[in-house]
Amino acid sequence: MLLKLLFRNAFRHRLRTLLTIGGIAVAILAFGLLRTVISAWYAGVDASSASRLVTRNAISLIFPLPLSYKEKIRSVDGVRLVSYGNWFGGVYIDEKNFFANFAVEPGSYFSLYSEFLLSDDESAAFFRERKACVAGRKLARRFGWKIGDTIPLRGTIFPGNWNFVLRGIYQGKDKTIDENQFFFHWEYLNETLRKTMPRRADQVGFYMIGLKRPDQAAATAEAVDGLFRNSYAETLTETEKAFQMSFVSMSEAIITVILLVSYVIIVIIMAVVANTMAMSVRERMGEYAVFKTLGFGRGYLAALIIGESLTLTALGGLLGIGLTFPTARAFGRAVGQFFPVFRVSADTILLDVAAAAIVGVVAAVIPVWRIVQVRIAEGLGRIG
Partner 1 sequence: MNLLFFYSLRNLLTRRLTTALTALGMALVVFVFAAIIMLAEGLQKTLVDTGSYSNVVVIRKSSGSEVQSGIDRLQASVVETQPEIGLGQNGSQLLAKEMVVLITLEKQDSASRSNVVIRGVSQASLSLRPQVRLIVGSLPRPGSSDIMVGKSIAKRFKGAGLGESLVFAQRSWRVVGIFDAGSTGYSSEIWGDVDQLMPAFRRPVYSSILFSLRNADDFQAVQTRIQNDPRLTLEAKRETVYYKEQSEAMATFLRILGLSLTIVFSIGAVVGAMITMYAAVATRTAEIGTLRALGFRQSVILIAFLMESLLLGAIGGCSGLFFASFLQLLTVSTTNFQTFSELAFSFTLTPGIAIKSLSFSLIMGFAGGVLPAYRASRMNIIAALREA
Site string for partner 1, 174-203 (x = CB under 8 A): -------------------------x----
116, 110 Cβ separation under 8 angstroms: yes
Determine, following the binding rule CB under 8 A, whether residue 269 of this chain makes contact with partner 1.
yes
Determine, following the binding rule CB under 8 A, whether residue 93 of this chain makes contact with partner 1.
no
Determine, following the binding rule CB under 8 A, whether residue 89 of this chain makes contact with partner 1.
yes
Shortest Cβ distance from residue 331 to partner 1 (Å)? 9
Residues in contact with partner 1, total (CB under 8 A)? 52
CA distance 46 to 18: 39
Closest to 360 in 3D by CA, of 300, 321, 313? 313
Determine, following the binding rule CB under 8 A, whether residue 275 of this chain makes contact with partner 1.
yes
Q: Residue 79 forms beta bridges with which residues? A: 211
Q: Which of 265, 312, 341, 371 binds partner 1 (CB under 8 A)?
A: 265
Q: Which of 219, 223, 268, 365 binds partner 1 (CB under 8 A)?
A: 268
Of 279 and 383, nearer to partner 1 (C-beta) is: 279
CA distance 143 to 120: 24
Determine, following the binding rule CB under 8 A, whether residue 221 of this chain makes contact with partner 1.
no
Determine, following the binding rule CB under 8 A, whether residue 94 of this chain makes contact with partner 1.
no
Shortest Cβ distance from residue 286 to partner 1 (Å)? 14
Determine, following the binding rule CB under 8 A, whether residue 223 of this chain makes contact with partner 1.
no
| H or E, element range at 97 | none
Q: Which stretch, 109-117, 132-140, 182-190, 271-279, contacts partner 1 (CB under 8 A)? A: 271-279
Determine, following the binding rule CB under 8 A, whether residue 358 of this chain makes contact with partner 1.
no
Q: Which stretch, 72-80, 100-108, 264-272, 340-348, contacts partner 1 (CB under 8 A)? A: 264-272
275, 323 Cβ separation under 8 angstroms: no
Closest to 155 in 3D by CA, of 181, 192, 128? 192
CA distance 207 to 69: 9
Rounded to a whole number of angstroms, the distance between the first and last alpha carbons of the chain is 27
Q: Which of 6, 10, 27, 217 binds partner 1 (CB under 8 A)?
A: 27
Determine, following the binding rule CB under 8 A, whether residue 29 of this chain makes contact with partner 1.
yes
Q: Which stretch, 117-125, 209-217, 270-278, 373-381, contacts partner 1 (CB under 8 A)? A: 270-278
233: left (phi over 0), alpha (psi -120 to 50) or beta: beta
CA torsion 337-341-343-347 (nearest 10°) is -130
Determine, following the binding rule CB under 8 A, whether residue 330 of this chain makes contact with partner 1.
no
132, 167 Cβ separation under 8 angstroms: yes
Cite the beta strand spans of 14-159 per DSSP E. Answer: 52-57, 65-66, 79-87, 101-104, 116-117, 132-136, 150-155
Contact positions vs partner 1 (CB under 8 A) = 15-16, 19-20, 22-23, 26-27, 29-30, 34, 59-63, 89, 91, 95, 154-157, 159, 199, 230, 232, 234, 246, 249-254, 257-258, 261, 264-265, 267-269, 271-272, 274-276, 278-279, 338, 366
